[in-house]
A and B are shown apart, each in its own frame.
Chain A
Amino acid sequence: MTKILYIEDNDQNFYLVSFIMTAKGFGMVRAHDGREGIDLATKEKPDLILLDIQLPIMDGYATARELKKIPDVSTTPIIALTSYAMAGDREKALEAGCTGYIEKPINPKTFVEQITVYLPAGDSPGDPR
């Protein structure tokens, strides 16, 4: 089963994405802040990381840079999820090491497709159980 780590402090947001993703057969792991996200990424070795930018303690850009330093995680796709939409947000995220960038609010109809693009080939979510 494809494992996705979602680093997000807002419960509603996590619940929304988690609901959609698990309904489509993905396994979800949650971290509440950057520090926890780094620990879980090291421990769980997820197939993909969803990363909120506005995080307490350590923001999403710093978290992305740290994640890239972990040997087992350095090749893992990181998708930034942010409601920041000012000039340069996308560039800053890509610069920090993110693979993709999705603006909030998400579109529940197309979200899974947007994510799937970044997964390694053949790593399909599998049938829901």
Chain B
Amino acid sequence: MKLQSRVLILYLCIALLVLVLIGGVLPASLHKQNLEAISGDSISQLRHIDFALSNFIGEAKYDVLGLSLNDNVQIRDDSHFTSFLNASEETFQYSYTPQEQTIINTFRDYQTTHPYVSSVYMGRENGTSVRSYPRKPTQYDPRDRPWYILAKDHPGTVSVTDPYKAVTTDDVNIGIVTPVLDQNGTMIGVVGADITLVNLTSYITTVGSVKGGEMILVDQKGTILASRDSSLLYKNINLILRDQTQLFLTSKEGVLVLNGTYLMYYTSPELGWKIGTFVPFSTIEQEINNSITRILMFVLLALVLLSVITILALNYSVIQPLTRLTDVSRRIAETGDLDQKIETGGAGEIGSLASSFKAMVEKLQNDIEERRKVEDTLLESETKNRRIIETANEGIWVLDRGLNTTFVNQRFADMLGYTREEMIGHHLMEYIADEDKQVIENQIASRRKGMKGSYELGLIHRNRRMIWCLVSGSPILDETGSFQGSFGMFTDITERKNAEEALQEAHRTLEYKVAERTRELAQAKEAAESADRLKSAFLATMSHELRTPLNSIIGFSGILLQELAGPLNEEQKKQLGMVSDSAEHLLALINDVLDLSKIEAGQLKIAKEPFSLRPVLDKVVRTVNPLAQVKHLSLELEVAPEVGAVMADSRRVEQILLNLISNSIKFTEQGYIRISCEHVGSEVRISVTDTGIGIKPKDLEKLFRPFTQVETGLTRQYEGTGLGLSISKRLVTLMGGTITVTSEWGKGSTFSFTIPVDRSPL
């Protein structure tokens, strides 16, 4: 729908709404307002009419007073006047005296100048009477008439009578009367002028009317004095007003609601009469309708004007620019030509719309230019990709959502022995080896979740041969991420797979062999361990069995040498000493072999407990001191002050020290043996330095091996089992330390070993 039509419809709706509001609410309020206005208006007009009427009656009174003072009228002589006291219609003859004729003329003049006056007359005290025009000759006594009695009762004033019925006509009159006095002031008669009610009505109607309503004039008693409806004249107003009559007569002014009309009335202050006007309901309704019509016309006119102005304004400020924009966009849509002139003048929304539109068109132009470039690049890239796809060593397979083939490259078709066209439209499962169908189903399920995957897959070649492929699959998703198909790269690994299987076969064979060999080795190990246990048991038994005879040999040779059993000669002593020494050597040998075998069998338990080093050193020095003294060697002990407790086995430390020191004493002929002790990091280093024969560099490495006493050139010059150093090395190692040696041939040697410092809290 056009904008103009929309605006028109909108205004129409507003107009309808306004009309409904006016039609619904206005009449009631207008009615009251109009009634008030009209009644106010009416009363004000009634005042005017009353003013005129009062003047009219006042003038009449003045003139009647003038007549009563007329010289001719004031004539005293009664003989000049006609009497109707005994008049008969058949016999009566008019014969006016000149005097009487003069009065009649005066009266006629008066009547001529007062058109609403129907008759001017005079009644006299003697019963005669004069009239402005001839009357029927009927019996008549003026002195009985109401007008005469009223005037006589009110001397010195002009009175207005109640309406009364004429004697000779059907007229109903009101008389304006006053007494006539002679020169002496004696009342001689009454002069008066009659106004018929019909004339009074004419007068009032002439003077004015209210809104075309019927006028009515009512005297104090309720007698209707004037009304266009002559049938109402001289009737009582209660004929119309009924029970509202009292209210009407007693109130000064007001509005009465009658059947179909309102009666608005006003009481004349001068005359005491009530002047009223009947306003039909329809008059007011007419007024109201007129008002409403006027308002409606105005509203309608305003709306029409507003519509026209709005449409013109719309047309100028909105529709024309919009039409121009529409034209431009239609041209763009039809021709696709973005080079259009766009007017961006104008303020407000339309102006900014035009600016935005222009900006959009420019943006579109830029975008299109950019897209064209991208498309060029894409085209180039696609050509390149197509070449890659076609020449790729990998097979490429694209499936749609239903897993039907939409694309394969030449390589993939070749792999399976089909042409590319033969594969298009065929379902994935047709090419999958039976044993791999579960694999592919799992993979497709994961593709549907948007996940990629690499896996191995068995495919079926056209000639039913199995083709093994390494697949790299990725899902094709639309912008909402929903599955649209799948893309797969296929590398033929059939040869590799076959090689792998061969390899696996070889591997299995190898494993079997290894297992067999392992079993054999385990058996061998078992045998070896068993042999080891046997060796240990053998050594233990041997040790015991060897010791028992040695006990006797050493014990008894000792007893003999001590001469407990009796004195010996020198030769016996010498020979028995040799027995004893050999036995001691044999015992040492047995002990060392036993120690070594225990260490190697892992049976030697090494305590690791804190003990103070200094007492152990002192004890060892005490023990070996006699040996040193025999060879005149000085034995020195240097203990650094920081040396305290160590974490080791005190008996074994003692054993090592004894071994090292006794070795030094053994191989030193002169000089000293120095035992020093100090902290090195978290260990204590104990060194035994001698000034002995030293060791050749080539022998140093053999030093700690079992049964290798260094070659001295002198066979068995130095006693010893050759096991001491190798036992010491093993013991030091077991305690977590190291043993080292430095030596210079011919100058001396230094043996050092370390043991851990006690770190436990004191």
Contact = CB atoms under 8 A, between A and B. Distances in A.
Given A16-B551, A16-B555, A108 B544 contact: no
Contacts of A16: 551-552, 555-556, 559
Contacts of B604: 87
A19 B564 contact: yes
B544 A109 contact: no
User: Is the contact region of chain B dominated by helix, strand, or loop, or is it mixed?
Assistant: helix
B559 A108 contact: yes
Given A23-B564, A105-B554, 4 more contacts: A13-B552, A83-B547, A105-B551, A106-B551
Give the interface centre of A54, A105, A109 by most chain B CB atoms within 10 Å: A105
A104 interface: yes
Contacts, number: 68
Contacts of A103: 547
Contacts of B540: 84, 86
Categorize the interface residue count of chain A. 20 to 34
B622 interface: no
B594 A106 contact: no
Interface in B557-579: 558-559, 562, 564-565
A20 interface: yes
Nearest to B603: A87
A108 B554 contact: yes
B558 A107 contact: yes
Contacts of A54: 544
Contacts of A88: 605
Nearest to A91: B605
Contacts of B26: none
A121 interface: no
B559 A19 contact: yes
Nearest to B586: A105
A57 interface: no
Shortest 10 CB-CB distances between A and B: which pairs?
A108-B558, A105-B551, A83-B547, A16-B555, A87-B603, A104-B551, A105-B554, A83-B544, A105-B550, A86-B540
B114 interface: no
B598 interface: yes
A109 B558 CA distance: 7
A105 B544 contact: no
Interface in B571-608: 583, 587, 591, 594, 598, 603-605
B603 A105 contact: no
Contacts of B605: 87-88
B603 A20 contact: no
A106 B591 CA distance: 14
17 contacts: A10-B548, A13-B548, A13-B551, A16-B555, A19-B564, A19-B565, A20-B559, A83-B548, A84-B544, A85-B547, A86-B543, A86-B594, A103-B547, A104-B548, A105-B554, A106-B554, A108-B554
Interface string A14-38: 0011011001000000000000000
A54 B550 CA distance: 16
Interface in A49-84: 54, 83-84
A117 to B, nearest CB: 15
A13 B548 CA distance: 8
A23 B556 CA distance: 13
A64 to B, nearest CB: 19
